[in-house]
Chain A
Amino acid sequence: MLSLVVLSAPIILMYSWLLVASFSVRITGLVPHGFTLENWRFLGRALPNEASIWTTTLNSLLFAFAVGILEVLIGSMAAYALSRLNFAGRGVVLSSTMVLHSFPSVTLLIAIFLVLRFLGLYDRLAGVILVKLALDLPLGIWIMKGFFDNVPWDIEMAALIDGCSRLRIWWRVMVPLVKPGLLAFGIFAFLSGWNEFLLPYVLLPSQNSQTLSVLMASLASEERFADYGLVTAVSVFYILPAVLVFALTQKYLLNIFSGGVKG
């Protein structure tokens, strides 16, 4: 137990420091000097040379929700087809999914940038959402296929014999059965969208479309980095939704790794 606490000390230290610093006038090492709410002024009025925090937050929320919902919807459809339908080219689709999933996707940023410019989606939130989907779907389909694989065939056969179409079966029978897994996966996708930095950083340069991660990066790189109070407060503001979502759903989420999500 003691060794675990020592190993985890940097984590505990850094996160508590962040929280304390955001409410302190000044902080030196671990010692805060004076309590203040002044660091949180950015909630009321926009920071100099920055868009309003609420516009930026809205962009992040839109991005994260779109990624979470679309990844589950599109991914689970494809996963269902790969798990249950027999069609020509199934093997090809499956193995290319597997290869893409282990593909060094960030190395494609240059080419993605050019494709988005060609499609007229560069510097558009929708474009970055599509890119994020494309990069994450192969792994997602692979994971969700596992959920469907776990549902006994008899259930689907019974529904087919009762005269259900495959579409209806997917939506009315299969999706409800694997819902816990899909939800857990969706929450992970949401978190990953909320945290995403590199894609919006490269593909969404203008201020009105920036996400919280890009705002944080610009705060961190300027001389304002020295304004610990402000930067820590924005950090807490950004980190809080992710930590809350995780804390509320973690029992559920950790199951996805250990293969405990069953239909």
Chain B
Amino acid sequence: MTLPTERAIEARGAARGSFLRRTLAVGGYPAFFLGPAVVVVLLLFLVPAVLTVVISLTNLSVATGLHKYRYIGIGNYAQITHSPWLVLVLKNTMIYMLSTLSLFNVGLALMLALLTAHLSGQAPGVFRVLWMLPRITPSVIYALMWRWFAAQPPYGTLSQILGWAGVPGANWMNVHPWAFIVALNGFVGASFGMIIFSSAIAAIPHDQYLAADVDGASPWQQVWRITLPRLRWPILFVTAYQTLSLLTSFEYILLTTNGGPGFYTTEVWSLYAFHLALSNYFGNTQFGLGAALAAVLVVLGLAASAIYLRLFRFGELVAAPKIEVN
């Protein structure tokens, strides 16, 4: 339905001719409300996304400059598949994603949610805030704290603690780089799942546990038979969401091992793209090749999100407004 007063206001506004009123008169309210967001996202998100694909088909690099590059078709993609590092980088990406996701983002998060669920008073809140700390700490500092924690003796805290048990000190991040990469990403990731799972657990009616108690079910059985089945969707959601963010997140690796120690020990796909395209040791950053690597990630990400959208019933989420007012 259209309200007469509204039309009248618009007409009056158009006559007066201020910028705001003119926008309203031309594009209506949708243009006014959506305009700023659409312009920003279009210019600095959508255009770069398309540009990434275009660049990936050229040999653009610092050597060619912005004027002498040329179209090379799928040359960059061919180069990726022939790269001697492909297998290593793929393997690293899998290790990184699977271990962080299973051990921390879902595993530890679930453990924290279950453990805090049985506490009373202030305690659950305190632990939740404590576990949010890594998430709200600037990544640069968070990475530094882990480097200090793992540092060689006499500085490193871990070396000192292990020293009390008679273990010789070392720079632990160089000894077990993967353990640290997974743990330091996982300590940030765990809080997301923890909060989602905690609120899902809080929503389970308490009488179900009382009934189980009466029936003589052990705490373990209660978790297994009552709590976990109710967490199926939250777990799926966290897995889906975090797979996508792990696929493209390399910031903490960049700030700690930077792909090392040694040659490409902890180099994951997204970091590899970043190194090739924006911070090459040899000074010749290869935009084209880097963009091709990024484009592969984009395709993977889009495929994954398409599956998730189907899974989470996208149609219901975008149902049209109930009443048509325009």
Contact = CB atoms under 8 A, between A and B. Distances in A.
A93 B3 CA distance: 25
Interface stretch (B112-120, B211-219, B223-231, B260-268): B112-120
B84 interface: no
Interface string A139-169: 0010000000000010011001101011100
Nearest to A157: B323
Interface in A87-146: 87, 90-91, 93-95, 98-100, 102-116, 119, 130-131, 133-135, 137-138, 141
A98 B33 CA distance: 18
B44 interface: yes
A257 B196 contact: yes
Nearest to B251: A198
Interface string B280-307: 0000000100110111011011101100
B187 A195 contact: no
A84 B119 contact: no
B302 A99 contact: yes
Contacts of B298: 103-104, 107
Contacts of B161: 29-30
Contacts of B116: 4
Given A7-B111, A75-B37, A77-B33, A106 B144 contact: no
A32 B175 CA distance: 26
Contacts, number: 295
Contacts of B247: 104
Contacts of A62: none
Tell me the interface secondary structure of chain A in the complex: helix
B167 interface: no
B149 A17 contact: yes
A40 interface: no
B36 interface: yes
Contacts of B139: 195, 197, 213
B324 to A, nearest CB: 5
Contacts of A1: 119, 123
B96 interface: no
A11 B33 contact: no
Nearest to A104: B248
Interface in A29-85: 29-31, 74-75, 77-78, 80-85
B97 interface: no
A220 interface: yes
Contact of A258 (B36, B155, B199): B199
B36 A235 contact: no
B18 interface: no
Interface string B50-80: 0110010000000000000000000000000
Contact of A104 (B51, B119, B244, B309): B244
Contact of B9 (A11, A28, A74, A165): A165
Contacts of B32: 77, 167
Contacts of B133: 11, 15, 243
A259 B24 CA distance: 33
B43 A134 contact: yes
B51 A90 contact: no
Contact of B138 (A105, A216, A250): A216
Q: What are the 10 closest A-B residue pairs judged by CB atoms, nearest first?
A: A29-B160, A258-B199, A107-B294, A104-B248, A134-B44, A81-B33, A111-B48, A102-B305, A78-B37, A111-B51
